[in-house]
A = this chain, B = another copy of it.
Amino acid sequence: MGICSYSFEEFVEKVRAFHGFEAPGVIIGGYMVDLAYSCLPPNGAYDALCETPKCLPDAIQLLTPCSIGNGWLVVINTGRYALILYDKVTGEGVRVFVDTAKVDRWPEIRDWYFRTTPKKQKKIQDLLREIRDAGSAICSVQAVKVSSRFIGKKHRGPFAVCPVCKESYPAEDGPLCLGCKDGEICVVVSQPVAGRQ
């Protein structure tokens, strides 16, 4: 069983190149995307919601036109290993999730999924073999309609220059940018920096 247009081995190679290593979660995610597409009309224009920031977003980014940067993929952390592909206009689509009842049949996947045994590098090949054998058999699908806040194109409004940091930001965020309003994520040690400037 392939993963969208790729063989298992080809997809593992793509995961290594993009994600840095053959993460089991991304490979399972590949089968989840493949299953989602198999339940949807071909040639549709779909956006994606991902219910966890761990691993699964990369499977979506590798196998669909949706990315974090183009905004067609949004991560909403429910902690569940699930994704939704839905029609951009109607919000109707499918939700694919790892089904805990089905995982029980697959001991390597179960141990990895519930973290019942510590990570062992030597077992990764056994785990990957079982993931390939299981394919999407550990998943279930629901027909869903997403919340209206995820439907429709968001047009950007005008930009302003923040009076504190002097950087530009969406004017709709208020009189200050969110960094100056909510607290900085870093402290500036020095500026400017030596480099190719």
- Footprint of B on A, CB under 8 Å? 18-20, 23, 25-26, 35, 38-39, 49, 51, 53-59, 61, 65, 67-72, 75-82, 84, 86, 92, 94-95, 97-101, 113-115, 136, 140-147, 150, 156-159, 161-162, 165-170, 173, 177-179, 182, 184-197
Contacts and interface: CB of A to CB of B under 8 A. Distances in A.
Contacts of A168: 80-81, 98, 100, 113-114
Given A140-B197, A142-B191, 6 more contacts: A19-B67, A39-B195, A79-B179, A94-B195, A95-B188, A142-B192
Nearest to A69: B58
Nearest to A29: B69
25 contacts: A18-B61, A25-B69, A35-B197, A38-B196, A39-B196, A53-B68, A55-B69, A58-B70, A59-B69, A61-B67, A68-B75, A78-B177, A78-B178, A79-B169, A79-B170, A79-B177, A80-B162, A80-B168, A82-B167, A95-B186, A114-B168, A140-B197, A143-B190, A144-B187, A147-B184
Nearest to A58: B69
Contacts of A157: 115
A80 to B, nearest CB: 5
Given A53-B71, A100-B166, A35 B195 contact: yes
